[in-house]
Structure 1
Amino acid sequence: MKSLPFLILFLAAIAAGDNSSYVPRDYILLDCGSSGQNKDQDGRTWNGDTGSKYAPSWLNSVSSQAPNQDSSVPQCPYLTARVFTSPFTYTFPLGAGRKYVRLYFYPSNYSNHEGADAFFSVTAGPITLLQNFSAYQTAAALNMDYLIREFSVNVSSAGLNLTFTPSKNYSNSYAFINGIEIVSMPDMFSTGNPLLVSGGTPIPYPIPDDWAMETVYRLNVGGQAISPSGDSGLYRSWADDSLYIYGAAFGVTYGADPNVTIQYPTTLPEYIAPVDVYSTARSMGPDPTVNRNYNLTWILSVDNGFYYLVRFHFCEIQYPITKVNQRVFDIYLNNQTAQEEADVIAWSGGIGVPVYEDYVVLTSGSGTTDLWVALHPDLKTKPEYFDAILNGMEVFKLQDGKNNLAGPNPDLPPQPDFEPDKIFNKKSNFNSTPVIVGGVVGGAAAIIGLGFLLLFLCKRKKKKGKDAAGTSDGPSGWLPLSLYENSHSAASAKTNTTGSYASSLPSNLCRHFSFAEIEAATNKFDEALLLGVGGFGKVYRGEFDDGTEVAIKRGNPMSEQGVHEFQTEIEMLSKLRHRHLVSLIGYCEENREMILVYDYMAHGTLREHLYKTQKPPLPWKQRLEICIGAARGLHYLHTGAKHTIIHRDVKTTNILLDDKWVAKVSDFGLSKTGPTLDNTHVSTVVKGSFGYLDPEYFRRQQLTEKSDVYSFGVVLFEVICARPALNQNLPKEQVSLAEWALHCQKKGILDQIIDPYLKGKIAPQCFKKFAETAEKCVSDHGIDRPATGDVLWNLEFALQLQVSAEEVGDLMADGIISDVDGGPVMMDGKKDVDDPSMESRTTTVTSTSTMSMGDRSIISEDSEGLTPSAVFSQIMNPKGR
């Protein structure tokens, strides 16, 4: 029997070396501030640190409990905390090798300490993990309830000392920790051969064995989030990647073919990534023509000044991709070539066989930046399929030369102009009402799935001295792995978020409807009342008991757009009132729903009346009036509100028409306050809709009002040509309406591509003025585009030219006047379009009109005098818009 312990150890060693599993030598779950044992939502047992061998003395610490814990926050390990007013060290006797160190924070008031006073640093031996870290500020800025930071450190045989030190830079500062997790991990980094991507030919960049890392992103590409319990042995969280996808070009997702079994090669241990990661994928789609013309792109916010290791996981899981040179693609990091002629089959050796590739990229400067990851078919090798594929992606921050991994805290938004205490019921006591709303259910996908829940109703402000070019809409300090720790799907995360979000909505700004009222108005969401489906969810026609007709937009819990857009829409439209902006009546957030109630727009969207419709075509004069109305709405946003507001998603589906055909700009989910007087632009992540996106904004990530002007120029061409902004079925040069129409305009043949219904019905000078206006709007550089006030003036002038020409035509038809000048009345081929006599005649007629076009403050008569909140932001991902 004496040999039994040896046999057990031997079998355990075999299991640990088995390719199918990993058994960590060290596995510690420390529930700080508590005693005894507690289980978390994954069923894992945490041990309290009271009296623990890991802390030799408690003289400089106290155990405390959060006085008021949000219902979305798991009790273990967040219910209690260990609080330190001077440096304190946990000592963990560990075996040598790499360890995951996960730190759990729930910012709250603990004992007699205010949550906002917690500024501290955390070191792991010689490595600085966090510096002057504020869990309160980070959670408030990112609208998280709780935070998880994951690090990978190499531990010597002496074990690991984890030290928490209150910052000396802040009065009343203290440190706290709710939970500490330490898990042994295999060395998954020094054995590879990553390539450094620096603009030239990538060169090898080996990772030293003793370097520490921080996990920034861990994405299950094309699949759902994977909780720690689904990643046996290492307890990692994998997030759904969909909300990091740039724009609407999100490709297609799919699972493994039923006849394909994931088979790890002998050179690739299964712990590199779980089977679930390799069993799903995202590719560009089946259309080679479309794939040639776009990149499959992810945008990831990271701290500047660090090297990042980017690991791509690949596995071909669908027939017929079984041979070399069937699917070959290029990989780009920050617009630099990382890999040409990537061929998963060539790398792995066959279908169903996983493989991964590592690359290193450097970011420079301070603050934050966006890491762009893009895939594009490689055309040089002439593969069978013009496509690309990705199954998983991880991004790790590498320590700098000073043994540092710490980045800055994200900026707190400034206080809004209008009574935030009244809106949020926010007291001086941090926990009297939970300040951080939104049920975060664990790990980094919360950044993905939840977007940014607005905590304060005001725009983010850059830190003094911060380089404007380095800012973005994302957090200035990314929040790794605050994701689906306790959720098994992205859907559940979004559902939980919706449910816990309700408490923050400002009922004093617009009407709050009960869910029962909404159900009654829509006959329990009868599909017969369905008006349409958008990125946020379905839109129903409804009628309340008093006979009021409304449009009811019901958020889809599976939508990529969610809580943030919900909040932004309410705050925006509750504070803005204008004849040419859609009116928000109220909202409902009961039963984990996100429902918005608007005035009913009887004639739907502008696009519904232009193409792919059974509705009769709109007369030209009516189209002009609609464009003028939309321009008035935009002009008000840019100049008439308290702060400049940039819509960022101007398109024909976001211009609605009421029962009197009055145009109203709608959908403010991407809206953002414009630059201050001291700045010319706002540096931000690119958001918007393909086909309408300002190319200068796309290139430079610098947003101005001229970005809206470009989008509106596309709308003008869409109105006169009656075709989509993008049409992939057309020849390549005609796919983009903006590019094709601009080409035709410069060639003088724009009249050949206009809506056939309009031919012969547009006065030549009106056509000329309208076309010139649209042309200037879509100029490549913003400085060459007109302001919205000028666009509005030109459109009204074009309308007057049309009206005057029609009046002259009527007089001629009635024989009251003769065509003494021989000039044209309509563009019907009978007259000379460039007849100089026409402009003088129409100008004379226009001068007698009662309309004043010289007054640029046109919108003032439509405003009800309300000023907007200073806060607008955008969702993490614009997909589906």
Structure 2
Amino acid sequence: MNPGLIPLIVYLSLLFNTLSEAQPSSAGPRPLALNCGSKDGGHDADNRKWESDDKYLVAADKSVSSTALTHEASLCSDVPYMTARIFKGETSYKFNVNSTSRYIIRLHFYPSNYPDYNISDSYSVVTTGTMTLLRNFSAFITAEALSQAYLIREYSLAAFNSDSITLTFKPADKSFAFVNGIELITEPELFDDKAGLVGVADTAGTIDGVSSNMQTMFRLNVGGQYIHPKNDSGGLMRSWYDDMPYMFGAGTISHVGNVTIDYKGLPEATAPADVYRTARSQGPDPNINKHSNVTWVFQVDANFTYLVRFHFCEYHLEKINQRVFKILLNNETAFNSADIIAWTGGKGIPTRKDYAVYIGNKRGDAELWVTLHTNIDLQPEFYDILLNGLEVFKLSDARSNLAGQNPVPSEMMQKQLIANREAHDPNSICSKQVIVGGAATVGVAAIVLLIMIRKKRRAPGSDPGSTSWLPVYGTSTASKSTTSRKSHGSNSLSKDAVCNCRYFSLLEIKRATNNFDESKVIGVGGFGKVYKGVVDGNMMVAVKRSNPSSEQGVNEFMTEIEMLSKLRHRHLVSLIGFCEEGDEMVLVYDYMGKGTLRQHLYRGNKITLSWIQRLELLIGAAKGLHYLHTGAKYTIIHRDVKTTNILCDDSWVAKVSDFGLSKTGPNMHQNHVSTVVKGSFGYLDPEYFRRQQLTEKSDVYSFGVVLFEVLCARPALNPSLPKEQVSLADYALQSARKGTLEEMVDPHLKGKIKAEAFNNFTDCSIRCLSDHGMERPSMGDVLWTLESCLRIETKVEGTTNSPKSSSPSDMVEVPIDNSDMIAMHLNTLNLDNDDDDDDAIFSQIVNPQGR
């Protein structure tokens, strides 16, 4: 080499490096992830690289870096949430992009307090070009209302026809803005230019998805598990969530298909193969399917158009007109004859369909209802529906705006927030009265206030007030009463609770129970006796009457009503109504024909449940608890999980019951609720007992005891056994250390549990019983393990049968091949109709088929 060329090569190399640094590496398709406020970036819990945001800032003098003062236990990763970029004035990021590409922008917010900044004072305006993404946005209010520790806002933006994107943060008046993480990812063209607009004439009824800017509202793996961003297709790092918390329909069945997904002309980035390998259908009974539908309900922002994307993949059937169904959006028909095979031409071939609907604000609410219903007019071979995935996108309006309003916390949440403030205010009257064991009990101030109102209302001459009621889901069996309906409890209950529950007069209750006839007693609990009754002529109910001398009284009565009036889930009990008149406090539930889980395990050593049946019931209970912890608007801790509070309806669907001791969970500034210890011995979390600090992991501990109770068919406490075996939890932990867990197994199950399922089940159960809550799995992890155990057990059997019947358990993922699927549709349910058991309790759901 010519020595004279060496200086030139060195110079060119340095110049090239300088130019490379001058052009941020975000240009082009490489995904960009910024850990805002961090100098070094870092790696998240999945070892994904995040870089500092410094070099992308414009007018950086108006912003500061900061570190969160608190660390929420539910944070998925410290990166990017523990550092933040705080904006004191309008500040922008500038990213070099490809002018012809769509881009996904994700904004991550962790509304913790930061040094010198009160997070409740933060209100942000976020724009990109002329598009408004957020306006007057309070991450604090939003996280409180949704009971989430952190928030992610995702947007899909059309091509800018520019070589850069400017993302601007501006604080509202006298406040500050902040952000913890920013992602910028090139998005392949996944949208059509002609998506049908529901309810509009064909000539004008289309939406151009290619040129639309949109916000991702919901992304669901229907019938399947949560899909982590690292398992997404196309490198788009999307999260796909379980659809169950949004379901509002008849009983359904989840399927897992063992099929190779052939995308053909569909871009693989549309959805990962795991979305198309799972699905939800109605079930085996065509007579039920003809008269019911499957519905998902979403809370959305009013006065926007929404693009709803349906993901389909048929892997059971293979002919046209075998399964044909209608697609409806807010009761408007989007498509009348959906036939997946007609669309794709065969099994294992996915497709997606987009439909749009405008949602105004005529009634002051904003809900999107997505409904599928079999089309019986076309007489398909099977009356059923199928759906694999669902996405909902909000489209920008005519003002280039995507911003909605901050959510309004529920009445119960507002009461708790008020109670929290009063508990920390030394001048508050209530706070002086609610000190329990030296610690202010979260939420007790609200209850004390309600009791004070109750006492004032009962003063002589006071007007008891009146209220109307609405039957749960408007079921015909809960028709309006013809007798007096003065609600003596309405003044001390929230408006929602009163409106969502029926009020029964004491006369109606006495008629239903034959004046509380002792022969009608079907159970006795801490609250009082439970009676079998009949209302509205032929509707069987369970009536729970308060015992005036019971330690459980008005607090549990109101808690049960407040909780259950707001919760709707297939595996949670639902309240029909209540009565409060004179000194009587009564709760009314639908009658539960199969009683408690406990009585089917070891009552008189009469074992009636197989291992697979026990797994199905545990899965149902786990789904109910998982929903309480993560699916509701705020975390709910049951606090009394045990086998007598897991009930079975006539179809052997497990439901979690008895919410009298339940508590709303900690807010985002706490990782526990300080409260007096309550629960049942044998199931009580030792960490909760020692520290009087309640978390959702306390429920996990109790459920761990339930798991061993089901496996071993013995009570949580049995004083008649040797000392080391009295406590089931302690005995299980000792046996695990000795390697002798198999010796504890119920003799009826020995040799009938596959080794892999047994190991997975017991490992999960032992982790649930960990002494420290942080070491226990979440209820979601427990649910996943139980479902995996069921899949292992059903690999040979192929199907799972509910106890004493051929009915498949609701919402349980089971592999179903073609012949099984056809058999399911050709055979109706053959439910067991045994005589009512004397120990049967109650399910508290008005009509399971109407949900």
Q: TM-score, normalised by structure 1?
A: 0.49
Separation in 1 of the partners of 2:272 and 2:557?
A: 40
Shift of residue 571, structure 1, vs aligned partner? 7.9
Deviations 1:484-529 (A, max 9, x none): xxxxxxxxxxxxxxxxxxxxxx9968999xxxxxxxxxxxxxxxxx
Who is 2:763 aligned against? none
* Pairing 1:82–2:85 present: yes
* Pairing 1:33–2:66 present: no
Distance 1:419 1:80, change over 3 A: closer
Deviations 1:859-879 (A, max 9, x none): xxxxxxxxxxxxxxx99xx99
Separation in 1 of the partners of 2:386 and 2:448?
A: 41
Shift of residue 713, structure 1, vs aligned partner? 10
* Pairing 1:125–2:122 present: no
Which secondary structure does the structure 2 equivalent of 1:389 belong to? Answer: coil
Who is 1:151 aligned against? 155
Separation in 2 of the partners of 1:86 and 1:288?
A: 62
Who is 1:362 aligned against? 358
Shift of residue 425, structure 1, vs aligned partner? 9.0
* Pairing 1:311–2:309 present: yes
Pick from 46, 53, 68 the counterpart of residue 50 of structure 2: 46
Separation in 1 of the partners of 2:573 and 2:45?
A: 45
Tell me, yes or no, if the aligned pair for 2:450 and 2:492 is still in contact at 8 Å.
no
Deviations 1:106-139 (A, max 9, x none): 1122332211111120001111000111111111
Separation in 1 of the partners of 2:68 and 2:484?
A: 51
Tell me, yes or no, if the aligned pair for 1:66 and 1:109 is still in contact at 8 Å.
yes
Separation in 2 of the partners of 1:298 and 1:102?
A: 25
Letter of the 1:263 counterpart: D
Tell me, yes or no, if the aligned pair for 1:34 and 1:48 is still in contact at 8 Å.
yes
Shift of residue 664, structure 1, vs aligned partner? 2.4
Who is 1:830 aligned against? none
Separation in 2 of the partners of 1:133 and 1:388?
A: 39
Q: In the TM superposition, what are the counterparts of 1:256-267 in structure 2 within 5 Å?
A: 256=257, 258=258, 260-265=259-264, 267=265
Tell me, yes or no, if the aligned pair for 2:579 and 2:587 is still in contact at 8 Å.
no
Letter of the 1:150 counterpart: E
Q: In the TM superposition, what are the counterparts of 1:66-145 in structure 2 within 5 Å?
A: 66-73=68-75, 74-96=77-99, 97-145=101-149
Separation in 2 of the partners of 1:198 and 1:670?
A: 41
Who is 1:664 aligned against? 544
* Pairing 1:383–2:380 present: yes
Which secondary structure does the structure 2 equivalent of 1:303 belong to? Answer: coil
Letter of the 2:403 counterpart: A
Letter of the 1:355 counterpart: T
Pick from 56, 60, 63 the counterpart of residue 61 of structure 1: 63
Shift of residue 689, structure 1, vs aligned partner? 11
Which secondary structure does the structure 2 equivalent of 1:646 belong to? Answer: helix
Distance 1:208 1:314, change over 3 A: closer
Letter of the 2:394 counterpart: K
Instruction: Structure 1 unaligned segments of length 5 or more: list them.
Output: 1-22, 429-457, 459-505, 513-566, 580-627, 675-681, 698-702, 706-710, 719-873
Which secondary structure does the structure 1 equivalent of 2:142 belong to? Answer: helix
Shift of residue 670, structure 1, vs aligned partner? 7.8
Who is 2:347 aligned against? 351
Tell me, yes or no, if the aligned pair for 1:313 and 1:355 is still in contact at 8 Å.
yes
Tell me, yes or no, if the aligned pair for 1:94 and 1:160 is still in contact at 8 Å.
yes
Q: CA RMSD in A?
A: 4.9
Who is 2:172 aligned against? 167
Deviations 1:61-85 (A, max 9, x none): 1111111221222210011111111
Deviations 1:24-64 (A, max 9, x none): 713111111111131112221001123x1x11442111111
Q: In the TM superposition, what are the counterparts of 1:539-688 in structure 2 within 5 Å?
A: 635-638=487-490, 645-646=497-498, 648=500, 657=524, 663-664=543-544, 671-672=561-562
Letter of the 1:26 counterpart: R
Q: In the TM superposition, what are the counterparts of 1:217-616 in structure 2 within 5 Å?
A: 217-232=218-233, 233-247=235-249, 249-256=250-257, 258=258, 260-265=259-264, 267-318=265-316, 321-365=317-361, 368-412=365-409
Which secondary structure does the structure 2 equivalent of 1:380 belong to? Answer: helix
Who is 2:179 aligned against? 177
Separation in 2 of the partners of 1:417 and 1:101?
A: 32
Which secondary structure does the structure 2 equivalent of 1:138 belong to? Answer: helix
Separation in 2 of the partners of 1:371 and 1:81?
A: 34
Which secondary structure does the structure 1 equivalent of 2:300 belong to? Answer: strand
Deviations 1:727-768 (A, max 9, x none): xxxxxxxxxxxxxxxxxxxxxxxxxxxxxxxxxxxxxxxxxx
Tell me, yes or no, if the aligned pair for 2:40 and 2:52 is still in contact at 8 Å.
yes
Letter of the 1:46 counterpart: W
Shift of residue 645, structure 1, vs aligned partner? 4.3
Which secondary structure does the structure 2 equivalent of 1:92 belong to? Answer: strand
Shift of residue 715, structure 1, vs aligned partner? 6.6
Separation in 1 of the partners of 2:59 and 2:69?
A: 25
Tell me, yes or no, if the aligned pair for 2:59 and 2:91 is still in contact at 8 Å.
no
Shift of residue 204, structure 1, vs aligned partner? 4.6
Q: Say which is worse superposed, 224-233 or 640-649, in terms of deviation.
A: 640-649
Letter of the 2:197 counterpart: L
Which secondary structure does the structure 2 equivalent of 1:271 belong to? Answer: helix
Letter of the 2:85 counterpart: R
Letter of the 2:240 counterpart: W
Tell me, yes or no, if the aligned pair for 1:313 and 1:354 is still in contact at 8 Å.
yes
Separation in 2 of the partners of 1:63 and 1:692?
A: 48
Shift of residue 210, structure 1, vs aligned partner? 3.3
Tell me, yes or no, if the aligned pair for 1:509 and 1:575 is still in contact at 8 Å.
no
Shift of residue 157, structure 1, vs aligned partner? 3.0
Tell me, yes or no, if the aligned pair for 2:190 and 2:267 is still in contact at 8 Å.
no
Deviations 1:641-675 (A, max 9, x none): 6978428467999996557667526887884599x
Separation in 1 of the partners of 2:165 and 2:213?
A: 13
| Number of residues of Structure 1 aligned to a counterpart in Structure 2 | 491
Separation in 2 of the partners of 1:193 and 1:391?
A: 22
Separation in 1 of the partners of 2:148 and 2:414?
A: 23
Instruction: Structure 2 unaligned segments of length 5 or more: list them.
Output: 1-26, 455-480, 505-511, 513-519, 532-542, 546-555, 581-585, 594-843
Tell me, yes or no, if the aligned pair for 1:647 and 1:672 is still in contact at 8 Å.
no
Structure 1 vs Structure 2: percent identity of aligned residues? 39
Distance 1:688 1:402, change over 3 A: same
Which secondary structure does the structure 2 equivalent of 1:409 belong to? Answer: coil
Separation in 2 of the partners of 1:336 and 1:323?
A: 28
